[in-house]
Amino acid sequence: MNYFVEGLQGSGKSTLLEKLAKRYPACMVFREGDYSPVELAWCARVTKEKYTKILEKYSDIRSLIEENSHAESDNMIICYTKIITDVPGFHKDLENYEIYNGRLAFDEFKRIIFDRYKKWDGDNMIFECSLFQNIVEDMILYRNATDQEILDFYEELAGVIKNKSLRIFYLETESIDNNIEIIRKDRSDENGNEMWFPLMIRYFDESPYAQSRGVSGEEELYKHFLHRQELELRICKDYFSNKVTVLKSKAYTDNEL
């Protein structure tokens, strides 16, 4: 069996991931930013020619880059957020080679995701927000995709993985603002300065979705999260009903697992 932990930011995905890891110690755990067979969040995907240029440009940390790189056919996957360095501009530069946030044409974006799921034949794996979050955020915020376009995408993807042994644990958030308030505090520095939330607000405010609608700020971000959760729960119900367990965020029992 394979397990996918899904839900909004602040819903408790990391906590649930650790619970599952302890319950199923034989499973390999994939967190965001890890080299994963299905997910490319926080990873740069480049051609081998571009990879050579990156190694030349950042020769001082060449060994670190190589240690966190993986060959896939004609491409290299660089898990760049795993590289701890103060080299100016490195992380910002590598971010440009992620597949999300509208950086690729939709057909190429879809092909990459579907190919990874088609090739994935592993077992005993636990994945953190690998099925919904990054894909749905990309399609809503950066492609202005309609709900129906997103549903069509997942209907097709569900067909691709219909024979895979998997269980989706979806953490449903009843109070989005309360959960976000907790994560805002958790992701602040020792002086109480918020580190995560200002970046999240900027990510939303600067998205094509927000700009095309002339919206911004905390209230609109929460509306987006609510819409996203409703859509993801509908995807679960319509296409993964026999593979999903919906849990109340931070209010479930171990027996429900």
Verify that 111 and 226 share a domain, yes or no: yes
Last residue of a domain, one of 80, 97, 114: 97
Tell me how far CA of residue 222 lies from CA of 26, 34, 85, in angstroms: 37, 28, 34
Verify that 81 and 187 share a domain, yes or no: no
Burial 94-103 (b: 16+ CB within 10 A, else e): beebbbbbbe
Verify that 154 and 68 share a domain, yes or no: no
- Is the pLDDT reported for residue 157 higher than 90? yes
Output the CA angle 11-17-19, nearest 5 degrees: 105
Per-residue pLDDT, averaged over 176-184, amounts to: 87
Verify that 238 and 157 share a domain, yes or no: yes
Verify that 27 and 73 share a domain, yes or no: no
Identify the CA nearest to 239 among candidates 153, 129, 124, 136. Answer: 153
The CATH number for 162's domain is 3.40.50.300
- What's the pLDDT at 224? 97
- Is the pLDDT reported for residue 182 higher than 90? no
Give the number of domains in the chain: 2
Model pLDDT for residues 67-113, shown as the tens digit of each residue:
999 999 999 999 999 999 999 999 999 999 999 999 999 999 999 99
Verify that 155 and 50 share a domain, yes or no: no
Last residue of a domain, one of 97, 116, 135: 97
Per-residue pLDDT, averaged over 180-190, amounts to: 87
Verify that 119 and 221 share a domain, yes or no: yes
The model's pTM? 0.94
Verify that 250 and 185 share a domain, yes or no: yes
Verify that 85 and 173 share a domain, yes or no: no
Residues linked to residue 75 through DSSP beta bridges, in sequence order: 47, 72
Last residue of a domain, one of 77, 97, 117: 97
Verify that 62 and 168 share a domain, yes or no: no
Model pLDDT for residues 26-73, shown as the tens digit of each residue:
999 999 999 999 999 999 999 999 999 999 999 999 999 999 999 999
Give the whole-angstrom CA distance, residue 235 versus residue 239.
6
Model pLDDT for residues 199-240, shown as the tens digit of each residue:
999 999 999 999 999 999 999 999 999 999 999 999 999 999
pLDDT category at 139 given cuts 50, 70, 90 is: very high
- What's the pLDDT at 100? 97
Verify that 16 and 59 share a domain, yes or no: no
Domain limits for position 148: 2-34+106-256
Phi, psi of 59, deg, nearest 5: -60, -30
- Is the pLDDT reported for residue 7 higher than 90? yes
Verify that 130 and 156 share a domain, yes or no: yes
- What's the pLDDT at 195? 87
- Is the pLDDT reported for residue 186 higher than 90? no
